[in-house]
Each structure stands twice: as C-alpha cells, then as structure tokens.
Amino acid sequence: MSVESAQSSTRDTILRETATLFAMDGYAGVSMRDIANAAGITPAALYHHFRDKSELYRATMAHAFGSKMSDLPTVLFGEAPIEERFTGFISWFCNLMSTDVIYARLMQREMLDGDDERVHFLTENVFREPFKQTMVMMEEIAPNGDAHQLSVFVFGLIFGYYAFTPTRRLQPGYKLEHDDPERAARNIAHLVLNGLKSFSAVENAAQ
C-alpha cells in the first residue's frame, strides 16, 4: 500500500470512529484521546491528520452526511408528478433514518446538543439543499401556503417519528410492521399530501 493510500485509509478510520463516538457520547463527551484510542492510533498521529477537534468535527460531518446526500437529486428531480416525487423524498429520508443508526443518532444529537457554530455548519452543509428542495415542492403542492413552515413540518414529522422510536415501541397498538421505513414513508406522505389538499381547498374557498 502506498503512503497516500495508507493515509487515506487511516483518515477514513478516524472519521468513521469519530462519527460513532459523537453519535453515542456527543461532541463535548469525546476527547481527542478517545478518538485516537478508538481509531487505534496515537494522539500525535491524530493531530497529524486534524489540527483540533473543531476541524475533525467538520470533516466528520462532511464524511458522515455528504455521501448520504449524493443520491438526493435523483429523488427530487425528474418528470414524475409532484406527489410521486414528494413520496420518493419521504421514502428516501425514512430509509436513511431507519437503516443508518449512526447517521440518525448523530443528526438527532447535533440538533439537540449542538452549539451555534456546529448547528450553523450542519445547516449550511447538510440540510440546506434538501430543505430548499422541500420548499420548492411545498410551493408546487400548496401554492398558497407558507413553504418554509410547511417544510419544517415535513422534516419534523420524519425526525420526530424516529426520535420517538424507543417510546412508540412500548405504546399500545405497536406492530412490528411500524418499523418498516416504506410503510412509515407512505403514511407520512399520505398525511402531508392530504392535509395540504384540504389546506388548499380551505384557502381557495376563503378567497
């Protein structure tokens, strides 16, 4: 293995282990020494790759979330009807939250515990584009609605469903099929689309 390949492999290991530690223990609960130990390297070797924890955080977020967003355009764009594209987006997001535990925990933890700088970084580098595209869809589905607030509701439904998972599994009426991301996506999309149709009808009647 070349020196460049070895360094790339080490960097990938660091980023993977850092994502897991941040997801489980939070940014403040993880030290550079913890990360070095998890990656199987010395702290000095870690600092060779990353100047400080802030730089490592940014690289970790880009590594953890960047690749996940790469297939987003194929979901949102195309000639399919807006309802189909919207349902496809919800399905994509539910599958992501359901199948990648580290991704889901890291996202939820940062939304709750991130300081202003980290939340700003996450917003700009991870959520900005999917949120903008959700607003575009909301403007098409409900032209008279508040696209920003409706998009917040959409994200809230998805995040809330998966954040509530440990509790909802203990609630009356829980079924194993409720964990199926495709089923969750269909129900969320159905709820939003039908709600927006009713909203549009009321708005049009009031005009």
Predicted pLDDT of residue 125: 80
Same domain, yes or no, for 174 and 199? yes
Three-class HEC string of the chain = CCHHHHHHHHHHHHHHHHHHHHHHHCCCCCCHHHHHHHHCCCHHHHHHHCCCHHHHHHHHHHHHHHHHHCCHHHHHCCCCCHHHHHHHHHHHHHHHHHHCHHHHHHHHHHHHHCCHHHHHHHHHHHHHHHHHHHHHHHHHHCCCCCHHHHHHHHHHHHHHHHHCHHHHCCCCCCCHHHHCHHHHHHHHHHHHHHHHHHHHHHHHHHC
Same domain, yes or no, for 109 and 163? yes
Same domain, yes or no, for 53 and 115? no
Boundary residue ending a domain (65, 84, 99): 65
Same domain, yes or no, for 55 and 114? no
Same domain, yes or no, for 99 and 174? yes
CATH number of the CATH domain containing 137: 1.10.357
Predicted pLDDT of residue 109: 81
Boundary residue ending a domain (50, 65, 80): 65
Same domain, yes or no, for 58 and 76? no
Same domain, yes or no, for 47 and 133? no
Same domain, yes or no, for 30 and 89? no
Mean pLDDT per 10-residue section of the chain, whose length is 207 residues: 62 93 90 96 94 92 76 72 91 89 82 81 84 91 92 93 92 96 95 84 55
Boundary residue ending a domain (65, 84, 110): 65
The total of structural domains in the chain comes to 2
Same domain, yes or no, for 16 and 89? no
On whether the pTM is more than 0.85, the answer is: no
Q: For residue 61, what are the domain limits? A: 3-65
Predicted pLDDT of residue 3: 47
Predicted pLDDT of residue 113: 77
Predicted pLDDT of residue 163: 87
CATH number of the CATH domain containing 23: 1.10.10.60
Same domain, yes or no, for 115 and 46? no
Same domain, yes or no, for 80 and 169? yes
Same domain, yes or no, for 103 and 141? yes
